[in-house]
A and B are shown apart, each in its own frame.
Chain A
Amino acid sequence: MRARLRLALWLEKLRRRNLQKIHPLEQLFWESTLRCNVHCLHCGSDCISSIETPDMPAEDFLRVIDTEITPHVKPRSVMVIISGGEPLMRKDLAEVGRALQQRGYPWGMVTNGLALTEKKFRELREAGLRSMTVSLDGLEEDHIWMRQHPLAFEGACRAIRLCVNEPYLAWDVVTCVNQRTIDHLPAIRDLLWGMGVRNWRIFGIDPMGRAADNPELLLTDEQFRQLMDFIVAEREAGRHVSYSCEGFLGDYEGRVRDYLYQCAAGISVASILIDGSISACTSIRGKYYQGNIYRDSFWDVWEHKFEAYRDRSWMKKNAPCKDCKAFDFCEGNGMHLRREDGSLMLCHLQRLGQKNP
């Protein structure tokens, strides 16, 4: 590992220690619905249970915002991200957005674009929508296969076209790459850049949720390195392509993202899930919930719980972290990759063949 990178990672480690002490709330995810209009092969949001799980009433979420968060933060410093399922399934999405805007919170959403008409887009913009992420996972055939809906590609492209040239909107496209699409990345890039996309984030798929039993969705280690090299080359060519926030990437740190790796779950990122559970990122489930808004004070939980997120030394008990010299920089990889028993599903360093750099 080059010396400058190592020094930068040590500085980042000090910064992370401070952040763990302060834990400023900067991003709040709201899992507004589990309903969805597509049936993605890789969904980790447990959308199987969408029919039985009712949407959280907007007033419950806003009550938490008003009584438990606003007294303790500057609203403009907390980005509220509405996620799902598919947030556009909620008829009151614009009303919720407007309520957040009136309270001074910037807000954004993640969408598959299928239900995003121009009328709905304008309505959301007038309600204060400040950021949007559109999911597009490949060229037409592959995207439709991934999303299991014949209009999925058309919907995503329409959403992208609505975002292009829209003033004061921070937006990007997210692609979950898999074995079918890894060799199509240059063509996908051409499609996106041809449509006017200038910010593209690429994710691998983790072996969880619906993807756990579908090996075609999971990249091999060699393909994962291919993905890293593609992103490095794109950035060197001046295109803003990034890898997702996930995973410590060893020698690729500083080369595939705009920042050095840090799992911010429970440190600056929290979420309120569909049933009121208080967690960090919405993909962190089960044992790692910290409370519930229907039983606990969100702010008390944020201030005094999340110990497992803010002191990750417990992760060193298990392989592969036990003897890993990169633990100081990595701190056990992303929380969402921890199983209920604390073991790690996936080590990015091992995938890259760089364990103990």
Chain B
Amino acid sequence: MKNKRFLLWINLVLGSLSMFLVGCHTQKKAAQATQPENDTQVEQAAEGDRVVCKYGVPAEMYERPTRKYGTPDMRDKE
């Protein structure tokens, strides 16, 4: 058990060092720190049927799909 705990601590150090060397942790933090430029936009997208897109693709592409295949709603069925 002591040996196992020791190896776990060693692994923590080794893992931290290797992440530091390649900068993985800084990439992750930078990416997670990125917030939407406009938080309201995320709320709108979550509430409404229409997806708002600000990255250059027309929002019309992402309007709520119509059921053009005539299949009944399967959501509550197995």
Residues of A whose CB lies within 8 Å of any CB of B are 4-5, 7-9, 11-12, 14-15, 18-19, 21-22, 24, 35, 37, 89, 91, 114-117, 139-140, 149-151, 153-155, 157, 161, 164-165, 186-187, 189-191, 193-196, 198, 235, 238-241, 253-255, 257-260
Q: Are A235 and B27 in contact (CB under 8 A)?
A: yes
Chain B residues closer than 8 Å to A91, beta-carbon distance: 78
Q: Are B27 and A258 in contact (CB under 8 A)?
A: yes
Given contacts A15-B14, A235-B31, contact A117 B73 (CB under 8 A): no
Query: How many angstroms from the CA of A153 to the CA of B66 in the assembled complex?
Result: 11
- Min C-beta distance of B66 to chain A, whole Å: 9
Q: Are B15 and A195 in contact (CB under 8 A)?
A: no
Query: How many angstroms from the CA of A195 to the CA of B11 in the assembled complex?
Result: 38
Q: Are B14 and A14 in contact (CB under 8 A)?
A: yes
Sort A-B residue pairs by CB-CB distance and give the 8 closest, nearest first: A254-B22, A240-B31, A150-B69, A194-B53, A190-B55, A8-B21, A8-B18, A15-B14
Query: How many angstroms from the CA of A259 to the CA of B23 in the assembled complex?
Result: 9
Given contacts A15-B11, A153-B65, contact A22 B51 (CB under 8 A): no
Residues of B whose CB lies within 8 Å of any CB of A are 4, 7-8, 10-11, 14-15, 17-19, 21-25, 27-28, 30-34, 36, 41-43, 45-46, 51-57, 59, 61-62, 64-65, 67-69, 71, 73-76, 78
Q: Are B78 and A37 in contact (CB under 8 A)?
A: yes
Which of B22, B28, B41 makes the CB contact (< 8 A) with A253? B22
Which of A116, A151, A155, A196 makes the CB contact (< 8 A) with B42? A196
- Min C-beta distance of A344 to chain B, whole Å: 25
Interface contacts beyond A11-B17, A18-B7, A115-B78: sample of 10 additional A-B pairs, CB < 8 Å, sorted by A: A8-B21, A8-B22, A11-B21, A18-B14, A19-B11, A165-B42, A239-B34, A254-B21, A255-B22, A260-B18
- Min C-beta distance of B25 to chain A, whole Å: 8
25 contacts between A and B (CB under 8 A): A7-B21, A8-B21, A11-B14, A14-B14, A18-B7, A114-B75, A115-B76, A117-B75, A150-B69, A151-B71, A165-B43, A165-B46, A187-B57, A190-B53, A190-B56, A191-B51, A191-B62, A194-B54, A195-B45, A196-B45, A235-B27, A235-B31, A238-B33, A241-B31, A255-B22
Chain B residues closer than 8 Å to A164, beta-carbon distance: 42, 45-46
Given contacts A150-B67, A165-B46, A194-B52, contact A15 B21 (CB under 8 A): no
